Chains A and B, each alone.
Chain A
Amino acid sequence: MKPRTKRALAIAGGLAALGVAAALVLNAFQSNLVFFFTPTQVAKKEVPLDRNFRVGGLVEGGTVVRQQDALTVSFKVTDGAESVPVVYTGILPDLFKEGKGVVAEGRVGPDGTFKASQVLAKHDENYMPPEAAEALKQAGHPMAKENFAGQGGSKR
């Protein structure tokens, strides 16, 4: 074997071993790499109830209620199966809307309500002019829901 062939094989072998190692490590850390938990996981208590965590899903239609002070807002986050009631005081991102994606960080209070310290909007990867979106809506296209469920983590 030529030295260069040996070196090529050593590099290929090293990279393959590294790839396998990385895959194993990432697989082991799977649950820690999750950015948010789904409402189903919250309902099943598969979440760290004693500390802060994030819950993500869609803002359930018709559940957004603003309090008197105009800064406190309550809504429900749903993944289609379960939903979590959330209370938040502060300024919401521009893209916060009923039926759209949201990720809230906070903890579950004694009454089962999720007290959020931060609310982030999660938008999907569809880009289209308003007219096209309107047309899809009229055709009853369930775009937002499909896309939120399409992500790896929320399927489990």
Chain B
Amino acid sequence: MNWFYFSSPPTFFRLAGRLAPWFFILAAVLAAWGLYLGLLVAPTDAQQGAVYRVIFIHVPTAWMSMFLYFVMACYCGLTLVFNTRLSAMMARAIAPTGAMFTFIALWTGAFWGRPTWGTYWVWDARLTSELVLLFLYFGYMALANAFEDPRRGDRAAALLALIGVVNLPIIYFSVQWWNTLHQGSSVSFKGTSMHVTMLTGMLVMSFAAWMYAIGATLVRVRSVILERERRAQWVREAGAA
């Protein structure tokens, strides 16, 4: 098998177009199932009552915000090392979805914090580092589009994205390294401190977020490819047809 077959923009353009709807369908089905589990099946929490149900949005989006940054940084590394065109386009396509998930995580966190902690926002290590992640996404997008020559934008922004990777372990381990108002992780590699129905709902919602992120990235990368390759023969032919 030729591993580089799908790294050619025209081939990947068609593949992405065929795959994207399936990911959106999966995302919708999983989200419906996850919300059903989270809002109707899962019991209330002993301490927080029904308020804790924000978790079914908050944790999946927070996970995705970090995971998407990691994936984006991997594509940026490929861009810098191999000078591949498609990897830079993928990184550009991921950034807005990652920023959106980061924003939702911060937003839902604020509305969870108000009734439980008694405040929308505190400058503790977890919240602050997650806000830094949002600014890293914004910075990446701004820098990628700040150059006349998109290839230069790719490389400059890729460097920024790679530097920002330092922030990921800080976000993840902030609640262990320092004392914070934010509680520790309920789910880790060692196990979980959540009731099983609650955990199932959260994991299903996470898969829904995952599928949505893939679908959205594929749709967006198609427009990035078209824009970049607008002078290429295959785009002109497709446009003329």
Residue of A nearest to B196 (CB): A128
Please indicate the chain A residues that have their CB under 8 angstroms from the CB of B176 in the complex: 151-152
0 or 1 for each of A88-119: is its CB under 8 Å from B? (1 = yes): 00001111100010010000000000000011
The answer to whether A33 has its CB under 8 Å from any CB of chain B is yes
The answer to whether B116 has its CB under 8 Å from any CB of chain A is yes
Residue of A nearest to B179 (CB): A153
Query: Is A129 touching B125 in the complex (CB atoms < 8 A)?
Result: no
The answer to whether A147 has its CB under 8 Å from any CB of chain B is yes
In the docked arrangement, what's the CA distance between A14 and B183, Å?
33
Q: How many of chain A's residues touch chain B, expressed as a range? A: 35 or more
In the docked arrangement, what's the CA distance between A4 and B84, Å?
11
Interface-side segment among A18-26, A42-50, A58-66, A70-78: A18-26
The answer to whether A81 has its CB under 8 Å from any CB of chain B is no
- Would A18 and B163 be within 8 Å (CB), given that A35-B181, A127-B194 are in contact? yes
Which listed residue, A22, A94, A129, touches B46 by the CB 8 Å rule? A129
Query: Is A95 touching B47 in the complex (CB atoms < 8 A)?
Result: yes
Which listed residue, A7, A11, A95, A152, touches B48 by the CB 8 Å rule? A95
Please indicate the chain A residues that have their CB under 8 angstroms from the CB of B117 in the complex: 93, 95, 120-123
Which listed residue, A18, A35, A154, touches B125 by the CB 8 Å rule? A35
The answer to whether B229 has its CB under 8 Å from any CB of chain A is no
The answer to whether B178 has its CB under 8 Å from any CB of chain A is yes
Of the listed residues B44, B118, B119, B177, the one surrounded by the most CB atoms of chain A closer than 10 A to its CB is B118
Residue of B nearest to A136 (CB): B46
How far in angstroms is the closest Cβ of chain A from B3? 15
Please indicate the chain B residues that have their CB under 8 angstroms from the CB of A128 in the complex: 45-46, 194-195, 198
- Would A126 and B186 be within 8 Å (CB), given that A7-B80, A118-B119 are in contact? yes
In the docked arrangement, what's the CA distance between A56 and B47, Å?
19
In the docked arrangement, what's the CA distance between A11 and B46, Å?
48
In the docked arrangement, what's the CA distance between A125 and B191, Å?
12
Query: Is A129 touching B177 in the complex (CB atoms < 8 A)?
Result: no
The answer to whether B200 has its CB under 8 Å from any CB of chain A is no
In the docked arrangement, what's the CA distance between A133 and B46, Å?
6
In the docked arrangement, what's the CA distance between A72 and B119, Å?
19
Query: Is A152 touching B179 in the complex (CB atoms < 8 A)?
Result: yes
Which listed residue, A15, A96, A124, touches B162 by the CB 8 Å rule? A15
How far in angstroms is the closest Cβ of chain A from B164? 10
Query: Is B183 touching A123 in the complex (CB atoms < 8 A)?
Result: yes
How far in angstroms is the closest Cβ of chain B from A91? 8
Which listed residue, A19, A134, A151, touches B179 by the CB 8 Å rule? A151
In the docked arrangement, what's the CA distance between A28 and B119, Å?
29
Query: Is A132 touching B195 in the complex (CB atoms < 8 A)?
Result: yes
The answer to whether B43 has its CB under 8 Å from any CB of chain A is yes
Please indicate the chain B residues that have their CB under 8 angstroms from the CB of A35 in the complex: 122, 124-125, 178-181
The answer to whether B115 has its CB under 8 Å from any CB of chain A is yes
Which listed residue, A8, A120, A133, A134, touches B81 by the CB 8 Å rule? A8
In the docked arrangement, what's the CA distance between A95 and B132, Å?
28
Which listed residue, B55, B170, B181, B194, touches A126 by the CB 8 Å rule? B194
Q: Assuming A122-B117, A123-B117, A129-B43, what are 18 further A-B pairs, CB within 8 angstroms?
A: A4-B81, A7-B81, A30-B178, A34-B178, A34-B179, A36-B181, A38-B179, A95-B47, A95-B118, A96-B118, A122-B181, A127-B45, A147-B183, A151-B179, A152-B177, A152-B178, A153-B177, A153-B180
Closest 3 CB pairs of A and B: A153-B179, A93-B118, A133-B46
